[in-house]
Amino acid sequence: MPTSATIEVSLGDRSYPIVIGQGLLDGGFELSPFIHGGDCLVVSNETVAPLYLDRLLPNLAGRDVSSLNLPDGESFKTVATMQTILDRLVSSGANRDTTVIALGGGVVGDIAGFAAACYMRGVAFIQVPTTLLAQVDSSVGGKTGVNHEMGKNLVGAFHQPQVVLIDTNTLDTLPERELRAGLAEVVKYGAICDPAFFEWLEENMPALLDKDAQALAHAIQRSCELKAAVVADDEREAGRRAILNFGHTFGHAIEHCLGYGEWLHGEAVAAGMIMAAELSGIEADATTRLRNLLASAGLPTTPPAIDSERWHDAMGMDKKVQQKQLRFVLLRTLGDAWITSDYDEGRLQALTGAGR
Ligand code: NAD
Ligand code: GLY
């Protein structure tokens, strides 16, 4: 029998459950109650579909299901790829009661979700995340979108799913480098809002890297609980939700400057979190703990070489910029983050060479 836990994302009439467990594919959790119309389009990619598409179909019993596989990789997270989903929806005669189901990592989820947000001004959407990063972060909260040649995730929409279905057994096939990248976002939650979880991660990182089922289940559940609470409080990032972007101003700049896919998103965020901790000016011991935890997960803790002009331009495209002012998510201490435009200019210069 599959085991599962359910976390509610409380957003009034856009509320939805995150269902987490082992063995939820292969018919272990019925998705039909979340599909209000007739047909569904499962959007996956050339890597994930051969592994999991057939195993998702029993969860959709009684539904008319078709599928579309995208090319794999962050470099395909573009408007052009999103257009192929729209083309398929149009050519198949899909109407407003269609449901789009994303089966894959954050790239598939973000693109498919954006297509669902746009098609006929919005059709229903379901997330079935298969990477650790997608299970702890990108499948929850309704941010969808694609990259633009000028910057990361610049084009998108908020569009909440009907349900997030997390079968943790899908992590069995996840490459080790991708697991490590997902752990960066897990560490993020401890760093920004849960010092006890940070301590738990310090003790349990070896078990997580070993894919210990109990440790992974706890890390995924706690991450989803923390994200669900932040999103319920501030769905459209008017304020507090921005703390989920800790390390991302630097991380997105790294991804953009190196070329999408060179460093994985989680790797760039890991180095970005150390830069943000240094910009915060918190006690050295706290930054050392963060660095040690990320290093123990095999993640980079120093940025690649990027010249100051490129840092400046890439950070200037960050979505948190207001009135041409950079804003950063900084730490007051480990486990307590805030967003501010009042950062130390000298420290930023030292980190990137880029000034105001
Ligand atoms: P990804 O989607 O590229 O997946 C990583 C790799 O793993 C891909 O090659 C994929 O095909 C493969 N894969 C997926 N599941 C697998 C499995 N079970 N077994 C074997 N291989 C598998 O990368 P990601 O780390 O999942 O997501 C990164 C993306 O998520 C970035 O574009 C980032 O911007 C986005 N993101 C979005 C949000 C949000 O709130 N929407 C939050 C964080 C990150
Ligand atoms: N990953 C950032 C957010 O969902 O807000």
Indicate which CATH number applies to the domain containing 316.
1.20.1090.10
Vertex 315, ends 309 and 319: CA angle to 5°?
Answer: 155
pLDDT tens digit string along 187-225? Answer: 999 999 999 999 999 999 999 999 999 999 999 999 999
Ranges of H-type helices in the chain: 48-56, 79-91, 106-118, 132-133, 176-193, 195-209, 213-233, 248-258, 265-280, 284-296, 308-316, 345-352
Residues 219 and 284 in one domain: yes
Average pLDDT in the 318-325 region?
90
Residues tagged active-site: 121, 143, 185, 227, 237, 241, 245, 248, 252, 265
Other C-beta atoms closer than 10 Å to the C-beta of 182 total 30
| Tally of structural domains, the chain | 2
Residues 217 and 344 in one domain: yes
The mean pLDDT value of the chain amounts to 96
241 lines ligand 2 (CB under 6 A): yes
Residues 73 and 199 in one domain: no
Last residue of a domain, one of 173, 194, 212: 173
* Contact criterion met (CB below 8 Å) for 237 and 322: no
Last residue of a domain, one of 126, 149, 173: 173
Using the mean position of ligand 1's atoms as its centre, give its distance from the Cα of residue 81 in Å: 15
Cα–Cα distance, 32 to 66 (Å, whole number): 15
The model scores a pTM over 0.85: yes
pLDDT tens digit string along 276-310? Answer: 999 999 999 999 999 999 999 999 999 999 999 99
Residues 121 and 44 in one domain: yes
Residues 95 and 49 in one domain: yes
Which atom of ligand 1 has the smallest separation from the CA of 143? 41
